[in-house]
Structure 1
Amino acid sequence: MGIIYGLTAALCFGLSDFMVTQATRKIQTLPALVWIQLFASIMMGSFIWIQSPQISGNAFTWGAVIVISLVNFFGTLFLYRAFEKGTLSIVSPIASGFAVVTAALAIFFGEVLPTWTLVGVFLLITGVITVSRTGGRGHQTTLAGIPEAISASVCMGAYFWAVGYLTPSLGAFLPVLITRIVQLLCALSFVRIRRIQLSKLSFSTGMILILAALLDSGALISFNLGQSLSYTTSTTALASLYSLITILLAWIFFKERLSKAQWTGIAIVLLGVIAVSM
């Protein structure tokens, strides 16, 4: 079941990132982040209220989930910015390298990982360098957004590693709600500081944002359920395969075309993710 949950998370993340890309290119990063977190908070809050779970955890646990939610906020902000300004089929596989960060933290804190994980780390770094040092064909692709994608992978990798220690006491759903609320409050603060006006949403944009919120929340829940049944490292690696879906959607709908060298770099990144999951 852990593998199924990990793959479900990958599917939801891939579809969600495609929706987020459309949203950020319509209304920009911060407004999209505010609306998605608002819709997600309402969905998760309603779901948990209906379920009426028994809430446990001490002050340290609650403080820890708030801290890692702040880290995930900056990861999400970097990710949305990468989607807004970059080529989706390039920045998505780079961001999916958060599995490397999770594996590195697991090693640092004493988890014994197989040789394939170390091979995966090397492949992911090599793939990122290959994509970053080559250009696309014509004007259809850009290397913009790569620094943001790398920053997002670092923040998200730390979040997914840490949340594995919190779900045993808080469950699979409550950390997702807390993350949503913290991200919403942070996004609103950034909007206020930068004096950005939240314009009225059209029906089509609103539906895109709602779908993005639903899919992203589903991905986080699936991940939490998966890592509660399996190793956090392997579940994270499976979830990071979402970039395969994102690349396919970008190729079909955004008509993104990459050079052979860039496709080689992306293939190396994906091989690295698969190696980490073995």
Structure 2
Amino acid sequence: MLAVLLALGASLGWGTSDFLGGLKSRSLPLTSVLLISQTTALALLVALVAAKGTPLPELSSLGQAAMAGLAETAAVAALYRGLAVGRMGIVAPVAATAPVVPLVAGLVTGQVPAPLQFAGLALALVGLVITSKAPDDGGTSPRALPSILYGLLASLGFGTFFLAMHNASGEDVGWALLVARLTAVTAIATVIAAQRRRVTFTGADLPATAAIGVLIITADFLYATASNLGMASIAAVLGSLHTIVTIALARIVLKERLGRLQQFGIALSLVGVVAISTAT
């Protein structure tokens, strides 16, 4: 049950950070949003690991952590860009298929959920995709193709992150998150330097953009802990409910319409969560 609660906490953190990231990417360059948020996260993690004084993990764990950092950065960049220039009702449901990656990997390695858990996973994932589909999105929009492509990139990136972070955090969660974030910041800074772009923001933008980084590492920590307490596939599906959080915030803050299909999807996902919790 603790693993379920931690994974749901991760979904809350990621969902809020996605909402803020999508908003800030409409007024600031994407590279600025990523660099400020990820650098904030890195600074906090350096302080955390230094305070704990945990020895450096095995090289294989560090490699998995670096992979997780690159994958998550690519996924967040694709998601934020997709939400800024594409259609949320297309980007979000495609990105919501990310848990398929660790789920398939778990099945291949023999981590088979119990029947009730498997049914709950299926309900939560299907409900997530349904919830993410906006009621007025048609496939003929000129923004449909880029929205699908950004959604696929986000899905692959998040799915790889789920799997790699689970593998990396077995020895120490703090070091896994630190190496992942260091890799992410290095990659972002390299892209900015190569493209000779300026990091532009105002003082008013800084608190909200830095808060994105705090939310991301908090959610990452909760997910990494949950995936090691329970099955990575279950933690990934529950963590991916962050899409529902993002949609709820859009409804509350931006007054975006929530259609009957989305309401049904949310209800279906919640039934899935109950099934998973009961079987855990």
Do they superpose with TM above 0.5? yes
Greater mean deviation of Cα atoms: 104-113 or 86-95: 86-95
* 1:78-157 alignment runs, 5 A limit: 78-88=78-88, 91-115=91-115, 117=118, 120=121, 124=125, 128=129, 135-136=136-137, 143=144, 145-157=147-159
The match for 2:213 is 213
SS in 2 for 1:202: coil
CA distance 1:8–1:258, change in 2 (3 Å): closer
The match for 1:165 is 167
CA distance 1:8–1:124, change in 2 (3 Å): closer
CA distance 1:276–1:38, change in 2 (3 Å): farther
Structure 2: gaps spanning 5 or more residues: none
SS in 2 for 1:168: coil
In structure 2, C-alpha distance between the alignment counterparts of 1:50 and 1:167, rounded to whole Å: 18
Query: Are the counterparts in 2 of residues 124 and 272 from structure 1 also a CA contact under 8 Å?
Result: no
Kindly indicate whether residue 210 of structure 2 is the aligned counterpart of residue 223 of structure 1. Answer: no
Structure 1: gaps spanning 5 or more residues: none
The match for 1:241 is 241
Cα deviation, 1:104-151, whole Å, max 9, x if unaligned, reads 1211233223456378559857975997797349xxxx7563431232
Greater mean deviation of Cα atoms: 63-72 or 35-44: 63-72
Query: Are the counterparts in 2 of residues 123 and 268 from structure 1 also a CA contact under 8 Å?
Result: no
The match for 1:10 is 11
Query: Are the counterparts in 2 of residues 238 and 277 from structure 1 also a CA contact under 8 Å?
Result: no
SS in 2 for 1:203: coil
In structure 1, C-alpha distance between the alignment counterparts of 2:188 and 2:46, rounded to whole Å: 18
Cα deviation, 1:87-116, whole Å, max 9, x if unaligned, reads 446644542332222211211233223456
In structure 2, C-alpha distance between the alignment counterparts of 1:195 and 1:74, rounded to whole Å: 19
CA distance 1:157–1:253, change in 2 (3 Å): same
In structure 1, C-alpha distance between the alignment counterparts of 2:156 and 2:103, rounded to whole Å: 11
Matched residue count: 270
Kindly indicate whether residue 193 of structure 2 is the aligned counterpart of residue 192 of structure 1. Answer: yes
Instruction: Please report how far the alpha carbon of residue 164 of structure 1 lies from its aligned counterpart in structure 2 after TM superposition.
Output: 1.6
The match for 2:180 is 179
Cα deviation, 1:223-277, whole Å, max 9, x if unaligned, reads 111122111111112211222211111112223236656x378559847974995
CA distance 1:37–1:12, change in 2 (3 Å): same
SS in 2 for 1:71: helix
Query: Are the counterparts in 2 of residues 223 and 239 from structure 1 also a CA contact under 8 Å?
Result: yes
CA distance 1:269–1:91, change in 2 (3 Å): farther
In structure 2, C-alpha distance between the alignment counterparts of 1:72 and 1:276, rounded to whole Å: 28
